[in-house]
Amino acid sequence: MNLTLRVWRQANRHEPGHFEEYYLRDLNPNMSFLEMLDVLNEQLTREGREPVAFDHDCREGICGSCGLVINGEPHGPGYRVTTCQTYLRAFRDGDTITVEPFRAAAFPLIKDLVVDRSAFDRIMQAGGFISVNAGSAPDANAILIPKDVADKAMDAAQCIGCGACVAACKNASAMLFVAAKVSHLNLLPQGQPEKTRRTLAMVQQMDAEGFGACTVTGSCEAACPKGISLNFIAKLNRDYLSALLLGK
Amino acid sequence: MGAVNMELKSQIPPGPLAQKWERHKANLRLVSPGNKRKYEIIVVGTGLAGGSAAATLAELGYNVKSFCIQDSPRRAHSVAAQGGINAAKNYQNDGDSVERLFYDTLKGGDFRAREANVYRLAEVSANIIDQCVAMGVPFAREYGGTLTNRSFGGAQVSRTFYARGQTGQQLLLGCYSAMCRQIAAGQIKMYPRTEMLDLVVVNGHAKGIVTRNLITGKIESHAADAVVLATGGYGNAYYLSTSGRGSNATAIWRAYRRGAFFANPCFTQIHPTCIPVSGDYQSKLTLMSESLRNDGRVWVPKKKGDTRPPNEIPEDERDYYLERKYPSYGNLAPRDIASRAAKEVCDEGRGVGPGGLGVYLDFRDAIRRLGRKRVEERYGNLFDMYHEITGENAYETPMRIYPAIHYTMGGLWVDYNLMSNLPGLFVIGEANFSDHGANRLGASALMQGLADGYFILPYTIGNYLATQKPDQRPKPDQPEFRAAEQQVRERVKKLLAIRGRKTVTEFHKQVGKILWDYCGMTRSRQGLERAIQLIGELREEFWENVNVPGSDEDLNQSLERAGRVADYLELGELIARDALTREESCGCHFRVEYQTPDHECLRNDRDFAHVACWEFTGDGNTPVRHIEPLIFEAVQPTERSYK
C-alpha cells in the first residue's frame, strides 16, 4: 500500500515546528506503524536528510515509551492498543496520515515527536510507593488479600504511564494516570498506612506540574491502551476527599 | 588499559552447599551506618536488577547515582517479561524445596553454571516474593486470599508466581516505586536519557563512568567508589530479538575493553514460542509467554508440505512432537530443547505458515477441558496481543510460533560476590553470566535480577567498599577520566564524519543475520569460522561506509544506534569465537559435530566443564581465553534428560 504522511518536525522546544509531507510506497499492511516510521527514516537517511525522532522501546505495548497522536487520536485508531501495536492494516491504501507528538504544557517537547514526560516520575516520587525496606517483609501469605481486591488493584496497576490520557484530554489533565497509581496502592492492605499522605501528596504534585483539571469527559479512558477505568477517578476523588477530612 | 587481575578467584566460600551463603554473610566485611553516607555508588541500568539494587543500596544509606537510557527508569525492558517469577515457597504443597529449585536450575543450565551461585539463588528466592508482596505487587491470588502459582518449563512443580501476563511490569513497577521513594529522599540521583559510553579504571579499580546525555549530547564523567552494571543482555546483536529496541551491549562491552572478562558469550537463549517473522521490514520479535505451554499443545502435521488449515487436519495426522519425544515433560520441555525440536520439524519440511518457519501452539483441547472463560482468564492478554500482531484469533485457530533470540546467559564474569575481575566493578542481572549456565529456565530471569539487587549485592558490595577510603575517591577531573572522555568524544566525531552510503540499520541487519545463520540454534566449526571472517569484513566496511546523519549536540537516535552496532560488530565476533572453541554441545549451544544418536546435546565434561572467560588484548589481537573450572560438590552432572 502507499501512504502520505504529514509528520510534525521541530528541532527543539525553542524553535517553531511545522508539518512535513512524506510519500511512502509499497508498504506491507502487516507492518506496524513504527516499522513504517523506520522505513521512512531509512529513506530520509539515504536522501541525506535527518530522520524523525520518536520514542519507542519494547514494541510490544508494555513499556509505555511510544506515543504518537495519529490523525488526532493518541495511539491512533486502534482500540486499547499503543502506537507500537498499531498496524497499517488499520489504514487504507492512499490515506494521508497526520502524525504529531503528545501535546500538553506539562509534557514539553524535546524534538520532533519526542516529549518530556518526567512530570509523571515526579508525581510518583511524591508518594507512589509503599515504604518497606528490603529485608523487612513478612511471609507473603501472611497478608491475605481477597481475589477481587487483588484483581482490582491489578486493573489499576497495569497502567503503562504512556501519557495518552493527558494527550487525549482537552484540559491535559493527568487524573486517570494519578487515579490508577493511587488506586493500585490504596486498594491493597499493604498500602493503608500511607494512604492519606500518598493521596494528598500525589494530587498536590499533579497540580504543581501544570496538568489541567478533570471534567470527567472520559476521553482519557477511551484513549487508554490498557483500558484503565474512569471508576478509578471516582475512587481517587473519594480518597482525596477523605484524606482532606482526615487532614494530614 | 587498566591492570588486569589474571587470576580468576571465584571466592566460593567453603563448607556445605546449604551453609555457604549464611556463613559467607557472617564473614563479609561491613560498612557502619555512619560511614555508608560517605560512599558513592554508580548503578547503570534500571531494570529489575539495577532498580532493586539502586533502591536497596539507597535504603542502606549509600549515595547512589542511577543511570538509564530510557526517559524513565520504569521503562527498562524487564517490563516486558510476561509469565512469572520462580520461588521455592512450596505453597502448593507439591514437594518443592530450595534443593529442588536449585537442582532444576542447575540441570536446566546443562551443568554449566556455578553450583554455589545457583544454590544461593534458590535460597533467596522465597524472600523476593515476600518483599514484592509487601511493596504492593498485585500477584494473582486464590479466592481465600493466598497466592497462586503455575508451572513453567523444566519443572515438575508449580512454583511460578505471576501477575496476569504482566509479571515483569509489576515487579519492575515495584522496584521503580522503591527508587521513587529514594529519589524523593535524595539518596538516589537519577539520570534518565543518559548512556554510559565508557568505564573508567583508576589504579586497576573501576572508579567511574563516562556518559552522554542523549538530549543535549553532553559528555560527562562521574566518579564513584564502586560501579554496578545492570545493563541487561546482548541479544540485540542478532538484530531480531525479543529485547527492547534500545537494549544494547555497549556498557558491558566497554567494560570488557577496559579489562573485565567476558564469560561464555556464546550462551544465547533462543526462545521457542515467539511470533514468526513476517517480513524484512520487521523490527523485533514478540514473545508469547512460556506459560502458554501449560495448556497449549505444540504440533505440526505429520505429512510434509501439508497446507490444509490446521482445524481440518485430523487428530491422527498431527505430530505432537514434544509430547512424543519428551513424555515426562511434554510441552513443558526446556527452551533450548523445544527450540531445537521446532527447528528440526521445520527443517524436515513440516513447518507451517509462510516459508514453513512455524509450528502450531494449539488451545483447542484446553478450551474443551477448561472452557473458553478459564482460558481467557489465564492468558487473555496474550491472546489479545497475538491478535493485535497477527490479526488471527487464537481461540479459534492455533497460534503459529517460531524460535527467536530472547536472553543471553553469557555476560561479564563475576565472582561469588558478583564482582568482576576488575575490583570495584559489580555486574548483576542478565549482564553477568553466573546462574543460568548454558540455558535459562523460564521465570528465572526475574528471580535472578531481583535476587542480585535486593538480597545479594547489598551484602557483598560492602565487603569491597570496606577496603576503600571514600576520602580518596578519584575526582572526575583526574587524567584517567579526561582521557576516557576524550576517547568517547573522538569516537562520536568519527562516527559522524564517515558519511558513507549504508545506514546503521543495514549493518545491524547484516551482522544479525550472520549470527543467526551461523551461531543460532545449531552451530558448526565451518560455519563459525565463516562467521568470524564475515563479521571482521563487515566491521571494516562499517568504519568506512556507515552513514550517520545529524549532529552530536542534540537528540540523535542514529548516532546512538551507530555506537551500539559498532560494538555488536566486535562482540559478534567474540560470540562466534567462543562457540568455536567450545567443542561440545550443551544447553543452547548445539554443535552439530557433537550430538547423541537421537540428536540431543553431547556434553564433554572432561574438557569443557568450565567457564570460558575472554580477555581483551587490544584491537586487532585475538582475545585470550581463560577458564574457571566448574567444580560440582553436591551434584554429579548427569545426562540432561527430559524424556
Task: Look at residue B152 in the predicted model and tell me its pLDDT.
Answer: 84
Which residues does chain A have within 8 Å of residue B77's beta carbon, measured at their own beta carbons? 57-58, 63
Instruction: Give residues with Cβ within 8 angstroms of B271, minimum separation 6.
Output: B242, B287, B290, B335, B339, B403, B404, B405, B406, B407
Which of B130, B281, B388 lies nearest to residue A137, judging by beta carbons? B130
Does residue B328 share a domain with residue B430?
Answer: no
- Percent residues over pLDDT 90 in chain B: 92
Q: Is the pLDDT of residue B558 over 90?
A: yes
In this structure, chain B runs to a length of 643
Domain boundaries, chain A: 3-111, 118-246
Average pLDDT over every residue of A44-53: 96
> B363 and B380 in contact (C-beta within 8 Å)?
no
The enclosing domain of B536 has a CATH number of 1.20.58.100
Does residue B323 share a domain with residue B373?
Answer: yes
Distance between CA atoms of residues B151 and B290, nearest Å: 9
Sheet of A73-74, strand order:
A18-24, A3-9, A96-100, A69-70, A73-74
Instruction: Please give the backbone phi and psi of residue A201, each rounded to the nearest 5 degrees, phi first.
Output: -65, -40
Task: Look at residue A49 in the predicted model and tell me its pLDDT.
Answer: 95
Nearest to B287 by CA among B269, B267, B309: B269
> A172 and A104 in contact (C-beta within 8 Å)?
yes
Task: Look at residue B6 in the predicted model and tell me its pLDDT.
Answer: 55
Which residues does chain A have within 8 Å of residue B244's beta carbon, measured at their own beta carbons? 57-59, 63
The class level of CATH for A3-111 reads alpha beta
Task: Look at residue B378 in the predicted model and tell me its pLDDT.
Answer: 82
| Mean of pLDDT over chain B | 95
CB contact under 8 A, B133 and A31: no
Does residue B465 share a domain with residue B376?
Answer: no
Does residue B150 share a domain with residue B201?
Answer: yes
Q: Is the pLDDT of residue A15 over 80?
A: yes
Active-site residue (options: B114, B254, B335, B473) = B335
Which residues does chain B have within 8 Å of residue A12's beta carbon, measured at their own beta carbons? 554
All 3 cell numbers of residue A15?
A: 524553535
Average pLDDT over every residue of B13-31: 97
Q: Locate all alpha helices (DSSP H) within B61-147, ordered by sequence.
A: 98-108, 115-134
Which of A134, A160, A185 lies nearest to residue B131, judging by beta carbons? A134
Lowest mean pLDDT among A6-15, B3-12, B581-590, B634-643: B3-12
Please identify among residues 111-170 of chain A the ones whose CB lies closer than 8 Å to any CB of chain B. Answer: 111, 114, 116-118, 120-121, 124-126, 128-141, 143-147, 150-151, 153-154, 157-158, 160-161
- Total CB pairs under 8 A between chain A and B: 215
Distance between CA atoms of residues B30 and B156, nearest Å: 40
Q: Is the pLDDT of residue B5 over 50?
A: no
Distance between CA atoms of residues B459 and B457, nearest Å: 5
Distance between CA atoms of residues B252 and B198, nearest Å: 9
Nearest to B352 by CA among B291, B293, B292, B311: B311
- Percent residues over pLDDT 70 in chain A: 100
Which residues does chain B have within 8 Å of residue A161's beta carbon, measured at their own beta carbons? 72, 74-75
Does residue B331 share a domain with residue B393?
Answer: yes
Does residue B605 share a domain with residue B586?
Answer: yes
The count of structural domains within chain B is 3
Nearest to B635 by CA among B16, B156, B8, B25: B16
Task: Look at residue B153 in the predicted model and tell me its pLDDT.
Answer: 81
Which of B173, B176, B550 lies nearest to residue A50, judging by beta carbons? B550
Which of B130, B173, B388 lies nearest to residue A139, judging by beta carbons? B130
Does residue B400 share a domain with residue B411?
Answer: no
Would B482 be classed as within a structural domain?
A: no
Does residue B84 share a domain with residue B198?
Answer: yes
Which DSSP category does B149 fall into?
-
Would B635 be classed as within a structural domain?
A: no
The enclosing domain of B199 has a CATH number of 3.50.50.60
> B51 and B176 in contact (C-beta within 8 Å)?
yes
Q: Is the pLDDT of residue A186 over 60?
A: yes
All 3 cell numbers of residue B383?
A: 491472546
Sheet of B219-223, strand order:
B194-202, B205-213, B219-223
- The model's pLDDT over A204-230, given as tens digits with 9 standing for 90+, comes to 999 999 999 999 999 999 999 999 999
**A63: distance to nearest CA of chain B, Å?**
5
Complex ipTM > 0.90 = yes
Would B6 be classed as within a structural domain?
A: no
Which DSSP category does B327 fall into?
T
> B146 and B91 in contact (C-beta within 8 Å)?
yes
- The model's pLDDT over B598-642, given as tens digits with 9 standing for 90+, comes to 889 999 999 999 999 999 999 999 999 999 999 999 999 998 888
Which DSSP category does A52 fall into?
P
Lowest mean pLDDT among A8-12, B162-166, B231-235, B347-351: B162-166
Distance between CA atoms of residues A178 and B413, nearest Å: 42
The enclosing domain of B291 has a CATH number of 3.90.700.10
3-state helix, strand, coil in chain A (%, to 5): 40, 15, 45
> B407 and B2 in contact (C-beta within 8 Å)?
no
In this structure, chain A runs to a length of 248
Average pLDDT over every residue of B319-339: 94
Does residue B187 share a domain with residue B86?
Answer: yes
**B1: distance to nearest CA of chain A, Å?**
33
Question: Residue A27's closest chain B neighbor by CA?
Answer: B281
The beta strands (E) that lie in B421-545 are given as 425-427, 502-503
Average pLDDT over every residue of A109-136: 98
Question: What topology is assigned to A118-246 in CATH?
Answer: Fumarate Reductase Iron-sulfur Protein; Chain B, domain 2 (1.10.1060)
Would B620 be classed as within a structural domain?
A: yes
> B101 and B179 in contact (C-beta within 8 Å)?
no
If you compute the radius of gyration of chain B from its CA atoms, what whole number of angstroms results? 24
Burial class of A15 by CB neighbour count within 10 A (0 to 12, 13 to 18, 19+): exposed
Distance between CA atoms of residues A64 and A58, nearest Å: 8
Distance between CA atoms of residues B264 and B347, nearest Å: 28
Preferred mutation among A42, A122, A124, A159 to probe B, highest tally of B CBs within 10 A: A124
**Catalytic site residue B181?**
no
> Rounded to whole angstroms, what are the CA distances from A124 to A180, A226, B61?
11, 19, 21
All 3 cell numbers of residue B340?
A: 531445537
Task: Look at residue B4 in the predicted model and tell me its pLDDT.
Answer: 40
Distance between CA atoms of residues B287 and B32, nearest Å: 45
Task: Look at residue A248 in the predicted model and tell me its pLDDT.
Answer: 56
Does residue B506 share a domain with residue B456?
Answer: no
Q: Is the pLDDT of residue B228 over 70?
A: yes
- The model's pLDDT over B546-555, given as tens digits with 9 standing for 90+, comes to 999 999 999 9
Task: Look at residue B83 in the predicted model and tell me its pLDDT.
Answer: 83
CB contact under 8 A, A81 and B388: yes
Domain boundary among B375, B406, B437: B406
CB contact under 8 A, B75 and A184: no
Task: Look at residue B642 in the predicted model and tell me its pLDDT.
Answer: 87
- Percent residues over pLDDT 70 in chain B: 99
Domain boundary among B379, B406, B433: B406
Which band of pLDDT confidence, cut at 50, 70 and 90, is reported for residue B7?
low
Domain that holds residue B287: 271-406
> Rounded to whole angstroms, what are the CA distances from B209 to B43, B61, B226, B249, B617?
10, 22, 10, 15, 21
Letter for the amino acid at B24? H
> B446 and B78 in contact (C-beta within 8 Å)?
yes
**A163: distance to nearest CA of chain B, Å?**
13
Which of A49, A110, A184 lies nearest to residue B215, judging by beta carbons? A110
Which residues does chain B have within 8 Å of residue A55's beta carbon, measured at their own beta carbons? 71
Instruction: Give residues with Cβ within 8 angstroms of B280, minimum separation 6.
Output: none
Letter for the amino acid at B433? F
Lowest mean pLDDT among A219-223, B353-357, B420-424: B353-357
Task: Look at residue B289 in the predicted model and tell me its pLDDT.
Answer: 86
Would B33 be classed as within a structural domain?
A: yes
Does residue B341 share a domain with residue B385?
Answer: yes
CB contact under 8 A, A35 and B281: yes
Would B13 be classed as within a structural domain?
A: no
Distance between CA atoms of residues B40 and A6, nearest Å: 48
CB contact under 8 A, B79 and A62: yes
Please identify among residues 88-107 of chain A the ones whose CB lies closer than 8 Å to any CB of chain B. Answer: 89
Would B87 be classed as within a structural domain?
A: yes
**A119: distance to nearest CA of chain B, Å?**
10
Which band of pLDDT confidence, cut at 50, 70 and 90, is reported for residue B377?
confident
Instruction: Give residues with Cβ within 8 angstroms of B544, minimum separation 6.
Output: B498, B500
Q: Residue for cell digits 566448574?
A: B630
Please identify among residues 195-214 of chain A the ones whose CB lies closer than 8 Å to any CB of chain B. Answer: none
Which band of pLDDT confidence, cut at 50, 70 and 90, is reported for residue B388?
confident
Which residues does chain A have within 8 Å of residue B71's beta carbon, measured at their own beta carbons? 55, 65, 116-118
> Rounded to whole angstroms, what are the CA distances from B607 to B110, B111, B422, B584, B604?
15, 13, 27, 9, 6
Distance between CA atoms of residues A36 and A23, nearest Å: 11
Which residues does chain A have within 8 Å of residue B385's beta carbon, measured at their own beta carbons? 60-61, 85
Domain boundary among B426, B441, B472: B472
All 3 cell numbers of residue B44?
A: 547503570
Instruction: Give residues with Cβ within 8 angstroms of B118, minimum separation 6.
Output: B102, B105, B106, B109, B435, B437
> Rounded to whole angstroms, what are the CA distances from A133 to A101, A142, B181, B190?
38, 17, 10, 19
Which residues does chain A have within 8 Å of residue B145's beta carbon, measured at their own beta carbons? 144-147
**B112: distance to nearest CA of chain A, Å?**
30
- The model's pLDDT over B457-495, given as tens digits with 9 standing for 90+, comes to 999 999 999 999 999 999 999 999 999 999 999 999 999
Q: Is the pLDDT of residue B1 over 60?
A: no
Which of A48, A58, A131 lies nearest to residue B79, judging by beta carbons? A58
If you compute the radius of gyration of chain A from its CA atoms, what whole number of angstroms results? 20
CB contact under 8 A, A157 and B164: no
Which residues does chain A have within 8 Å of residue B389's beta carbon, measured at their own beta carbons? 85, 87
Preferred mutation among A27, A47, A49, A125 to probe B, highest tally of B CBs within 10 A: A125
Does residue B266 share a domain with residue B291?
Answer: no
Question: Residue B247's closest chain A neighbor by CA?
Answer: A57
